[in-house]
Structure 1
Amino acid sequence: MAQAWFATGPGGISEWELREVEVTPPGPGEVTIRVHAAGMNPADVKHSARPGAAFPVPLGYEVSGEITALGPDTSIGSGTAHVGDEVLAFRVSGGYATELTVPAEKAFHKPATLTHPEAANLLLAGATAAELLDRSGARAGELVLFHAASGAVGVSFLQQARARGVRVVGTAGAGNLDVVRRYGGIAIEYGAGLVDQARAAASGAPYVAALDGVGTDEALDASFDLVADRQRIITIVRPDRVEKDGIVAIGGMMRASAVFRDGVRGALVDLAAQGMLEVPVARTYALTEAREAAEFLMTGHPGGKLALIP
């Protein structure tokens, strides 16, 4: 038997429940993973309470751990694997667990450069950042603006952009400007005079794209002033502005986004293995503390990623 968290109703975190579950033995094309860390993302909370959800909803999209069983003639996303191999897995269902069976193509060998809590938080934020960078169309030497660059997606974006030679001006609160600088961005503080700050930071260079990770009207309005092509203003939090303003929204529940994010997993694991992609972890919690951890996550200021440890 294993333990796993489920959302049992639409009321949010208060309706989460830790249950005992049977772990299905892996068939062909499947792998069973003993979880050493489960990554936490705002999507875990938001999707579990979405209208029309079929409860109970298993919680958690990404994990890091070790293989305990492989289906017959089965390889994982990064190639041949064996029982005992350390792996991470992304776009799984029910990662807040002690053990689970998942499609083998979703699992990749864990980079030795990352701890389990770090590896369990690599791919959701990293794949989102990769899609933003891809959709921006920015090339080496060009300049983009990233709103909320000190958050998990922003930090991954800064590192991936640096690897491609793309320059980034990133907005953050006063207490997080050093985070933006640490990962290669030019930091400016959001708030009054944002457009003027952004223009000064650009030193005359044009912004080819603006990426929105915060969703405020201030961020979007500044983007409209700085980037002429609305199709290169891309948001991960304000799909309601797409029709009104002609901008682009992406998200893991959209088919095109899901396909892209599945395809980029191996490249992100390789970047991490090369030491080019760090994952700052702020806190870890026991698996039994998932509700408390989620409440802290949803304050919006965790200062890094969170992980659940069985």
Structure 2
Amino acid sequence: MKKVSYAEFGGPDVLHLVDADEPHAGPGEIRIAVRAAGVNPVDWRIREGQMRPALPASLPAGVGLDAAGVVDEVGEGVTDVAVGDRVFGEGSDTYAEFAVLHAWARTPEGLSFEEAAGYPSVMETALRILSECGVRPGQTLLVSGASGGVGSAVLQIARDRGITVVGTAGAANLEYLRSLGAHATTYGEGWPERVRAFTSVDAALDLAGAGVLRELVELTGDPATVVSIADRTAPELGVRFSGVAGSVPDALKETVRLLEQGALHIPVEKAYSLAEAAAAHADSRAGHTRGRRVIVI
């Protein structure tokens, strides 16, 4: 089968499309014929070596966590899906023609493979950090860097829970944030004052690592109500850095619920082929994404 792999840590140019042995499902796992794989910032952070020693990689290594496709192999003990079912979920080395998943859900009717591949990791992250920052229905949440995949999920989950959101993004993405029910303002000089003009803030999320943690703490008044997934200096200010995943099966269950209720939609901004994985990583690292990027097989 074809698979994206790298033999050394480094930039996007270390990624290569190679021939590899097909993986097989172990107990409690399934294998899918991959139709699309989600592109997440953690993918290129692992490739760059940023995640060592928390996620040590044995080189050469594959890439990717999220995927959607068709079940073609069922491991021992799996009873909720069968060969031929359309599923999406999380596994390993998903930038490939076949991949093994350890968490999955049936793909809702009407959802394309490309769309489905964009949900697993971003929904797990969004649900986790909303819980960690402690924001409650009726309160106001500030989201810095709100237009990407995680931000898109956060805004829609918050809307479903009755939480008011103020999001920051580039000027080109402000209308997109408003379409998801958020108040929106740009980055740049004076942005805290622009946020204050909307409302007071009860909690805040840093999704972009843009060096705004001090301002977020000032706006909420309490570092315990601020969570970052992108700035590892967060603990120096008493801010939680969230990097340990929660329950992916629970996140997938909530994803399906919101999708079936019409309360969730994260657009696919751009799709790439397996051979274009390096370009997908370069674009993801550059930021300013509206929704998701995916690899299509």
Please give the TM-score of this superposition, normalised by the length of structure 2: 0.93
Cα distance between partner residues in 2 of 1:63 and 1:6: 16
Q: Does 1:120 align with 2:111?
A: no
| Secondary structure, aligned partner of 1:38 | strand
The answer as to 2:175 corresponding to 1:178 is yes
Alignment of 1:201-220 (within 5 A): 201-202=198-199, 206-217=200-211, 219-220=212-213
**How far apart, CA to CA, are the structure 2 residues paired with 1:181 and 1:305?**
17
Structure 1 residue 267: deviation in Å? 1.4
Aligned pair in 2 of structure 1 residues 228, 56: CA closer, same or farther (>3 Å)?
same
Q: For residue 109 of structure 1, what is the amino acid of its counterpart?
A: R
Q: Which amino acid aligns with 1:306?
A: R
1:262 deviation in Å? 5.0
Distance 1:93 1:259 in 2: 17
Aligned with 1:154: secondary structure?
helix
By how many angstroms is 1:163 displaced? 0.5
Alignment of 1:190-269 (within 5 A): 190-202=187-199, 206-217=200-211, 219-242=212-235, 244-251=236-243, 254=244, 258-261=245-248, 263-269=250-256
Moved more, 290-299 or 29-38: 290-299
Distance 2:224 2:202 in 1: 11
Aligned-pair distance for 1:54? 2.2
The CA deviation string for residues 273-309 of structure 1, in whole angstroms up to 9 with x for no partner, is 3221111111111222212222222221343311111
Q: What is the aligned partner in structure 2 of residue 129 from structure 1?
A: 126
Partner of 2:44: 45
Give 1:52-67 correspondences, 5 Å limit.
Answer: 53-67=57-71
Residue type of the alignment partner of 2:67 = V
Query: Alpha-carbon deviations, 1:139-191, whole Å to 9, x = none?
Result: 21111111111122111100000010000011112111101100010111222
Q: CA deviation at 1:264?
A: 2.4
User: How many aligned residue pairs are there?
Assistant: 292
Distance 2:273 2:118 in 1: 16
Which residue of structure 1 aligns with residue 293 of structure 2? 306
Contact 2:268 2:293 in 1 (8 A): yes
**Given the alignment of the two structures, is residue 293 of structure 1 paired with residue 280 of structure 2, yes or no?**
yes
Q: Which consecutive residues of structure 2, in runs of 5 or more, have no partner in the other structure? A: none
Residues 11-160 of structure 1 mapped to structure 2, 5 A cutoff: 11-50=10-49, 51=52, 53-75=57-79, 80-90=80-90, 92-103=91-102, 106-160=103-157
The alignment-based identity, stated in percent, is 32
Is 124-133 or 264-273 further displaced after alignment? 264-273
Partners of 2:252 and 2:148 lie apart in 1 by 20
- Counterpart residue identity of residue 60, structure 1: G
Deviation at 1:212, TM superposition (A): 0.7
1:24-50 C-alpha deviation (Å, 9 max, x unpaired): 443432211000101111211111221
User: 50-59 or 27-36, which moves further after superposition?
Assistant: 50-59
Instruction: Name the CA distance, whole Å, in 2 between partners of 1:222 and 1:83.
Output: 51
Cα distance, 1:18 vs structure 2: 1.7
- For 1:82, the aligned partner's letter is A
**Partners of 2:213 and 2:234 within 8 A in 1:** no
* C-alpha distance in 1 between matches for 2:132 and 2:24: 39
2:48 corresponds to which letter in structure 1?
A
Runs of 4+ in 1 over 4 A off after TM superposition: none
Inter-partner Cα distance in structure 2 for 1:28 and 1:47: 26
Displacement of 1:73 after TM fit?
4.0
> Structure 2 vs 1, CA of residues 233 and 10 (structure 1 numbering), >3 Å: closer, same or farther?
same
Q: Aligned equivalents of 1:85 and 1:53: distance in 2? A: 31
For the Cα contact (< 8 Å) 1:234–1:249, is it kept in 2? yes
**Distance of 2:131 and 2:97 partners within structure 1:** 35
Calculate the TM-score normalised by the size of structure 1. 0.89
Rounded Cα–Cα distance in structure 2 between residues aligned with 1:303 and 1:144: 20
Unpaired segments of 5 or more residues in structure 1? none
Closer/same/farther in 2, CA of residues 34 and 190 from structure 1, 3 Å limit: same
